[in-house]
Structure 1
Amino acid sequence: MAHVLSAVEGKVIDIVPIKRCLISVSDKTGIVELCTVLQNNYNIELLSTGGTAKKLRDSGLTVIDVSDFTGGAECLDGRVKTLHPKIHGGLLAVRGNEAHSQDMITQEMKYIDMTILNLYPFEETMKRPNVTFEQCIENIDIGGPSMMRSTAKNHVSTTIVTSPDQYSMLLNELASTNGGTTLKTRKCFASNAFCLSAKYDSMIASYFESQLAIDNAAEEATASLSQVVIPRVYKPEFELKYGVNPHQKPASILSLQGQSLPFTVINGKPGYTNLLDAANAYQLVLELKQATGLASAASFKHVSPAGAAVAVELTDIECQAYEVTEETRASLTPVSLAYLRARNADPMCSFGDFSAVSDIVDEQTALYLKKEVSDGIVAPGYTEDALEILKKKKGGKFIILTATPGYTPPVQEYREVYGMTFQQKRNDVVLTSKHMETIVTDSTKCAPITDAAIRDMIVASICVKYTQSNSVGFSKNGMMVGVGAGQQSRVDCVKLAGRKVQTWYLRQHPKVLALPFKEGVKRQDRVNARVRYIEGDFTVEEKLRWNEFFTDVPAPLTQSEKEEFLKQSTGIAISSDAFFPFRDSIDHASKLGVSYVAQPGGSVQDGNITEACNEYGIAMCMTGVRLFHH
C-alpha cells in the first residue's frame, strides 16, 4: 500500500523498517524488556540520555549517548541535550525528498526512525506536598515535547511511542512486519502524542493560572485573569446511542485528559441522562453518608431526586404502607433499608429511576431492586451474589456502575452552552449539623430541635442541593417525603412538594391500607392505584378501569376524611435551596405538618419569615449557604 504525497516528497511506504531508535523515559516501566527485543531481535541501534541510558547499559544493552551522536555535550544543568539539529533533523527529514537527503549529508545527520519517550512528571511534582513554584518550573519538559512533536509530525516515516501501554502493540507490529511499523499505527501513535502534548501544556497553563490567582489574591495585583488562556483536553471514552434526545447525535462520554471517569460501566449501556442522574445521585448519597454516618440512597429521575434517604428503622405503619413484610423487615440491611425508604418517597415518580447508594450493594438490596422498575444503579461496589442478581435484571440490560475508588473531582467546573463556556468552583460544601446551629425562632414557642430533626433537616438540605432550582424538600424519619423542583416561584415549589407530602402521608390512611386488591395485581399497579385513590379526580373511563383492580369497589376517600387525617401529620422538616422571599411559603408549609425549617436566610424578609414560624410553632435555623443547582 502506497500513499502519494507530492512529486517532490515522493511516496510514503506503508511499512517502514526501524533501524535507529531514540529513548528518553521518566517512567521506565518495561523499557529494558522492550529495548532488549529491539536490539537482540531486530538489531535496532539505541540512542539515549542520562538515567535511561544507564539503566539500559546496566542491563547489558549497547547504547549510544545522545551527546556522542550529536557531537555536542549536555549543558546548562541538562536543560539542553536533545535540542540539537542532528536530533530534530534525524526525526523531521522527509524520506525520499532529494533536498532533505542532501542536507542530511551536508550536515552529517543520520535518520532516527523511532522515538520512545515520556515526559518529566510535571503533574506528580505539582501535587507533591510543600512543593515550590521553582521546583515545578524545573520539571517542565522542553526537549521531550519537542522530540515528541517532531516525530509525530513526520509520522509518515517515524514512529512515536509515548506510553508503556503501547509497548505490547509495538512488539506485535514489529513481529508481524519483521521489524517495521505500519502507517496506520504510526498515525495512531502520532495522534496520541499530540493529545499528550496538549494535555501537558494544559496542565502547565492551568498551574500558572492557579499561581496567578494566588498572586492576585495575596498582592492585589492588577493583571486580569481574564487574559489567561485555559486549555482543556478531553479524551473520548465511549459513545452513547444519542444525547438527551434521539436526534441529538453523535453523543459520547469524554474524560478530562489525565483524569479517570468517576464510574466504571459493569453492565448495560448507560445513556446521556442515565449518567447525569448517576453523577448527581452519587454525590448526594456520599454527602448524606458523610454528614450523618448512615447508609444512604437516592432515586433519581431527569436529573432531580424523586427520593433520598438514610438508614432509619421503619415504623409499623410504614411497613404496611410500603408493603414490607415482617420477614423482609427482619432481613433489611442498612443499605437496603436506605434504598427502600428512598424509593418510597414518591414511588410513582421513582418508576424507571436511576439509583445510587453509599455502601456496597448486598444481596438484600439487589433483591429489592430486582422487583422494582429501574434503569440502573451506581455504588462503590457489589457482593458477588448481588452482582449476579442485578446482571439478570431487564434481560441483562440493567445498568450497573461502580464508582471509581478515591475519585477526586476537579475543583473547577466547566460547562459549554450555546458557544459559551461557564466556569465556577464546584459546590463542595457539605451540609452538616454545624449548619443547623443558628436557630432564629423563639424556643419557648416552637418545636424543640431534636437529633432526629437535625438529621431530617440535613437530609432535606443535601437533597435540594442536587435538585434543579428553585427547589424545596420535605423530610421525615430520615427520608424525603416531597421534593419540588425547577419552579420559578418558591411558593409554587412548596405547593408542588406539599402535594407529594400529603400523598405520602395519606398512603398511611386506614382506608388506603385496606384497599382490597385482586390477587395478581402488579406491585406498580398497586402503587399507582393507591395514589389515584388518594387524588380521587378520576374521569369516568379511568374510574371503570381502576375498579377492575379490586375484589370490591372501594368507597371514596372523602375530602373531609383526608383533612382530618392530615391534621395528625407533624414533625416534618422542610429545606429550601434559597431564602424564602415571603411568608406565604411558611403559611402553606404549616398546613403540611411542618415543625422544622432549614434555609439559607439573607432576605430583607427574614424577620417576617421568622415571625411567621413563631406564630405556627415551627423552629427555623438559617444555614447561611445557598444551594442553587442548575
Structure 2
Amino acid sequence: MKILRALVSVSNKEGIVDFVKVLRKQKIEIISTGGTSKLLEENNIKVMSVSDYTGFPEILQGRVKTLHPKIYGGLLVRRADPHQLEQLKEFGISEIHMVVINLYPFEQTIAKADCTLSDAIENIDIGGVSLIRAAAKNYQDVIVITDPKDYALILEEMNKNNHEISSETRMRLAVKAFSMTAAYDRHISNYLYGLTDNQKDTDKFFTPSFQLRYRKVQDLRYGENPHQGGALYVDETTQEPSIPKAKILGGKELSFNNIYDLHHGLDIAKEFKEPICVIIKHTNPCGVGRDKHSMTKAFQAALDSDPQSAFGGVVVLNREVSEECALLMNKIFLEAILAPSFDKKALSLLEKKKNLRLLTLDFNGDVSPEKVDFKKITGGLLVQHRDLGTIDPKPWTVVTGEKVLDSIQESLVFAWKVAKHMTSNAIVIANASHTVGMGVGQTSRVEAVKQALEKAQGKTKGAVLASDGFFPFRDSIDLLEGSHLAAIVQPGGSIRDEEVIQAAKEKKITMVFTKTRHFKH
C-alpha cells in the first residue's frame, strides 16, 4: 500500500517535526490542524489545513475540527471495493493513508492540584479519539500512529520496504491505538464517577469498572516454573522507585522469580531511611539488617539472621555497595543484588560472577498512596488500597502496665516494619539492628512462633517479637518461657486478649498493642 496522504494532529509534539520532514521528502501530502499545523509551517514544512481540505472552518473554539465526511470517508473507505472508491470520486474525497495523532492530556490535567471540572471537560478529546478509532478499524488500508516512540520504527520499515508498511505492523499499531482509547475513556469515566453522589459507593476509589493498562517490555524465559510462559509489563504512570525502573548492569537475564523477589525486598527497604539490607527468598525476608554507619555491617547482620536460607536469595540495599561489602557477598551464592550504586571495585569484583544479576535504582521518590493492590482470582479480581503509611508508635498501647524503654521501642518498630511485609501468619524476632529469627507463612500462629524460635537458635535475650496478627490463644506466649524476650508487639483484638496479656505478664515480657493488623497473602 503506497502512502500518499497523512493526517497529522498531535497534542504531544515530541519528534513530530523531524518525522513529518521525512514524510514530506517522500512526497507524502500532509493535512494538519491548529497548533500542529502552525508548528510544522514554522519549520518550513508544507501542510494543508483541515479547514482548507474540507472547505469548512474550525468552529466552537476548536471543539469541532476534523468531524467531517471528507476526513472520515478518506479514512474508512475499503480500497478493495470499487463501489466505495467510486463514491469517493463522486463526492470529491481523497484517500487518507496515514493518521499520526495523540490525545489531549486528560490524565495529566486532572492530576494537577488546581484542576477544575471545566479544565477536565475541555481536555476530553472527541475528534482525536474518533480519528484513532476510524483509522484503527480500517487498519488494512490505513496506518495509525499514536505513540511518538514509534516514529523511528515506522520510518525504518518504510525505508526497507519501498515506503510501505506491512500488514503485521498495521495490525500491531491498530491494537495499540484501541488500547490507548480504551485507557483514555477509563480515565474519564473514573474521574467523573469520583464527582458523583452515590450512596452505595461511598469510597470513590473503587470505581464501577477496573481496567488495567500495562505495556509489555520484556518476554521472560518462563514464569514461576519452566512450563509456564511469562512476561513483564509496566505501568508507565508509576513515579515511585520500582523494579521496572532499575538498570541492569550485568549478569543473566532477570527471571520471573527474580523480579518478584526484588520487588518484595524493595518494598521492605522503602520502610527505612537509614542504611538497610534485605535478603529475600521466595518473596519473604530471611534476613534484614541495618547499621547507621556501615552497609557492610548491615549486610552481615542480615546474613547472620539465617545464612542457610540466604543461599540463592536476592539482596536489596538502599546505599552504595562498597568493595568491602562486595567481598562478603562474593562468598555466597546470590541470584541478584539491587542497590543505588556500586563503587568501581565492588562492581569489578561482582561482575566476575557471570550469572549474578546486578541492578541499580534511584531510591529517591515518594510512594504513591493512590495506587491499588490487586490479586487475580479465576473469574475476577480483588482490589484494595495498598498497605501504606508510616509506622508511628505514638498511638501504640502498652497493655502489660510498664513503660517501654526507648531502646526496646526502637526494636519493636524495626520488627513491626519487617513483619508487615511477610506472608501471614508471620512472626519476627529481632533486636534494634537485625532480625534474629522469623516464622513465615504458617497456617497457625503458634507454629509461626515455633519456627521463629527455632531460627533464632537461642539468641532471643533482650530481643523483641512482632506478630502481624493477634494471638488467638495464650499458647504462643507460653512457648516463650525462658526466651528472655524483652517485649512483644501485636495488633490485639482477640476475644482472649486478657488471657494473652496475662501470659505475657507471667513471663515478664512487655506487650504492646498497635491496633493495626498487617495480614499479607
Name which of 310, 317, 320 aligns with 1:357: 317
Q: Work out whether 1:585 is the aligned partner of 2:476.
A: yes
Q: Work out whether 1:51 is the aligned partner of 2:35.
A: yes
Q: Which residue is equivalent to 1:466?
A: 421
Deviations 1:543-575 (A, max 9, x none): xxxxxxxxxxxxxxxxxxxxxxxxxx5211001
Q: Work out whether 1:411 is the aligned partner of 2:371.
A: yes
| Counterpart residue identity of residue 403, structure 1 | L
| Counterpart residue identity of residue 270, structure 1 | L
Residues 169 and 273 of structure 1, relative CA distance in 2, 3 Å threshold? closer
Residues 234 and 227 of structure 1, relative CA distance in 2, 3 Å threshold? closer
C-alpha distance in 2 between matches for 1:252 and 1:87 = 39
Residues 438 and 198 of structure 1, relative CA distance in 2, 3 Å threshold? same
SS in 2 for 1:602: coil
Residues 97 and 195 of structure 1, relative CA distance in 2, 3 Å threshold? same
Name the TM-score, length of structure 1 as normaliser.
0.77
C-alpha distance in 2 between matches for 1:17 and 1:570 = 80
Q: Which residue is equivalent to 2:289?
A: 309
Name which of 404, 408, 412 aligns with 1:449: 404
Q: Which residue is equivalent to 2:265?
A: 281
C-alpha distance in 1 between matches for 2:304 and 2:359 = 22
Q: Work out whether 1:194 is the aligned partner of 2:163.
A: no
Shift of 1:227: 8.1
Q: Which residue is equivalent to 1:422?
A: 382
Q: Which runs of 4+ in 1 moved over 6 A?
A: 219-227
Q: Which residue is equivalent to 1:377?
A: 337
C-alpha distance in 2 between matches for 1:412 and 1:336 = 35
C-alpha distance in 2 between matches for 1:52 and 1:429 = 44
C-alpha distance in 1 between matches for 2:133 and 2:202 = 36
C-alpha distance in 2 between matches for 1:450 and 1:136 = 53
Shift of 1:209: 4.5
Q: How does 1:62-81 map to 2 (within 5 A)?
A: 62-81=46-65
Shift of 1:426: 0.7
Q: Which residue is equivalent to 1:170?
A: 154
Name which of 197, 211, 224 aligns with 1:244: 224
Shift of 1:257: 5.8
Q: Which residue is equivalent to 2:84?
A: 100
Q: Work out whether 1:17 is the aligned partner of 2:5.
A: no
Q: Work out whether 1:481 is the aligned partner of 2:481.
A: no
SS in 1 for 2:512: strand
SS in 1 for 2:179: helix
C-alpha distance in 1 between matches for 2:461 and 2:79 = 84
Q: Which residue is equivalent to 2:492?
A: 601
| Counterpart residue identity of residue 409, structure 2 | I
RMSD over aligned CA atoms reads 2.4
Q: Which residue is equivalent to 2:106?
A: 122
Shift of 1:404: 5.7
Name which of 501, 513, 521 aligns with 1:622: 513
C-alpha distance in 1 between matches for 2:28 and 2:359 = 45
Query: Which structure is larger by alpha-carbon Rg, 1 or 2?
Result: 1
Q: Which residue is equivalent to 1:83?
A: 67
Residues 300 and 129 of structure 1, relative CA distance in 2, 3 Å threshold? same
C-alpha distance in 2 between matches for 1:183 and 1:483 = 56
Instruction: Verify the 8 A CA contact 2:393 2:514 in the aligned structure 1.
Output: no
Instruction: Verify the 8 A CA contact 1:265 1:399 in the aligned structure 2.
Output: no
Structure in which a larger fraction of residues adopt helix: 1
Instruction: Verify the 8 A CA contact 1:455 1:478 in the aligned structure 2.
Output: no
C-alpha distance in 2 between matches for 1:498 and 1:194 = 55
SS in 2 for 1:197: helix
Unaligned ranges ≥5, structure 1: 1-15, 313-332, 506-568
C-alpha distance in 2 between matches for 1:496 and 1:165 = 52
Residues 343 and 227 of structure 1, relative CA distance in 2, 3 Å threshold? closer
C-alpha distance in 2 between matches for 1:279 and 1:402 = 13
How many residue pairs match? The answer is: 514
Shift of 1:579: 1.1
| Counterpart residue identity of residue 490, structure 1 | R
| Counterpart residue identity of residue 200, structure 1 | Y
Shift of 1:226: 8.1
C-alpha distance in 2 between matches for 1:457 and 1:63 = 68
C-alpha distance in 2 between matches for 1:44 and 1:385 = 55
Deviations 1:397-436 (A, max 9, x none): 112233365375562112212232111111113324435x
Name which of 386, 392, 397 aligns with 1:438: 397
Name which of 10, 34, 51 aligns with 2:19: 34
C-alpha distance in 1 between matches for 2:398 and 2:383 = 34
Q: Which residue is equivalent to 1:559?
A: none
% of aligned pairs identical? 34
Shift of 1:304: 1.3
| Counterpart residue identity of residue 17, structure 1 | K
Deviations 1:281-324 (A, max 9, x none): 1110110x24xxx2111111111111112116xxxxxxxxxxxx
Instruction: Verify the 8 A CA contact 2:471 2:500 in the aligned structure 1.
Output: yes
Instruction: Verify the 8 A CA contact 1:19 1:44 in the aligned structure 2.
Output: yes
Q: Which residue is equivalent to 1:147?
A: 131
| Counterpart residue identity of residue 581, structure 1 | P
Shift of 1:225: 9.2
C-alpha distance in 1 between matches for 2:514 and 2:76 = 62
SS in 2 for 1:459: helix
C-alpha distance in 2 between matches for 1:625 and 1:225 = 21
C-alpha distance in 1 between matches for 2:259 and 2:448 = 26
Unaligned ranges ≥5, structure 2: none
Residues 472 and 223 of structure 1, relative CA distance in 2, 3 Å threshold? closer
Instruction: Verify the 8 A CA contact 1:155 1:190 in the aligned structure 2.
Output: yes
C-alpha distance in 1 between matches for 2:30 and 2:407 = 70
C-alpha distance in 2 between matches for 1:223 and 1:109 = 50
Shift of 1:384: 3.4
Residues 87 and 375 of structure 1, relative CA distance in 2, 3 Å threshold? same
Deviations 1:27-54 (A, max 9, x none): 1122222222222x12221111111111
Residues 571 and 211 of structure 1, relative CA distance in 2, 3 Å threshold? farther
